[in-house]
Amino acid sequence: MLEDIHDIRPPVMTGMDPGLIQGLLWGAGALVLCALMALIIRYRLKKRKNKTHEAQALPQLSPYETAARDLEQCMADFGHDAKIFYFELGRIVKAYISGRFQINCSEMTSQEMARAVKNLNSLDTGLKTELVQFQDQCDPIRYMPLDTQGKLDAGRMEQDLALAGSLVARIEQTIADAPAKEDTEDA
């Protein structure tokens, strides 16, 4: 009787192996991740290439050229509103000083800018004083009440615009003459 009893057979595998399925899923995930990384890298390289072309297409203007261009447009764009005109005029002069001397005048008050300008060694004292006086002359107009704004005539605005242009041009000339003076002093 014991000869008729056989042992139980081991289970027979049907379908796919779970380890194989897990390996395939991990492999597919890795492929998707690699493809995503390749797309991101390609996008950034293309974006960088476009920025390089844009930078080459648009030449960067010097602080003087930018100030001269902005001063030319200032009277035409803001001639009717004295407060906006003087805010823009002050912004142009501050942007020029910031760009030319690498000091951040844009966010400075007029008093802070006066201290920063007085520390510049490349400008003579007279030019520094005129620059500070110009900012002090424009401040009351920038901050005057709206009801007194109409009392300001266009002639004064044109004079101040010409003065700002003259200051910028004289500073630029002083800077251009500085290397020539150093060369003659060395000889």
pLDDT for 185 beyond 60? no
- What's the first-to-final CA gap in the chain, in angstroms? 126
Residue 1 has pLDDT above 80, yes or no: no
Confidence of residue 187 (pLDDT cuts 50, 70, 90): very low
Is 107 in a helix, a strand, or coil?
Answer: coil
The residue with tokens 């007029």 is 110
What's the confidence (pLDDT) of residue 99?
A: 86
Higher pLDDT, 32 or 14: 32
Rounded distance, CA 56 to CA 80, Å? 37
**Over 80: is that where the pLDDT of 28 sits?**
yes
> Is-contact 74 160, C-beta < 8 A?
no
Model's pTM, two decimal places?
0.61
pLDDT for 151: 58
Residue 40 reports pLDDT greater than 70:
yes
pLDDT band at residue 17 using 50, 70 and 90 as cut-offs: confident
Residue 74 has pLDDT above 80, yes or no: no
Q: How confident is the model at residue 43 (pLDDT cuts 50, 70, 90)?
A: very high
158 CB-near residues (< 8 Å, 6+ apart): 75
- The mean pLDDT of 65-91, rounded to a whole number, is 79
Q: Mean pLDDT across the stretch 90-100?
A: 86
Helices (H), the chain: 18-57, 63-78, 82-101, 110-118, 125-142, 154-186
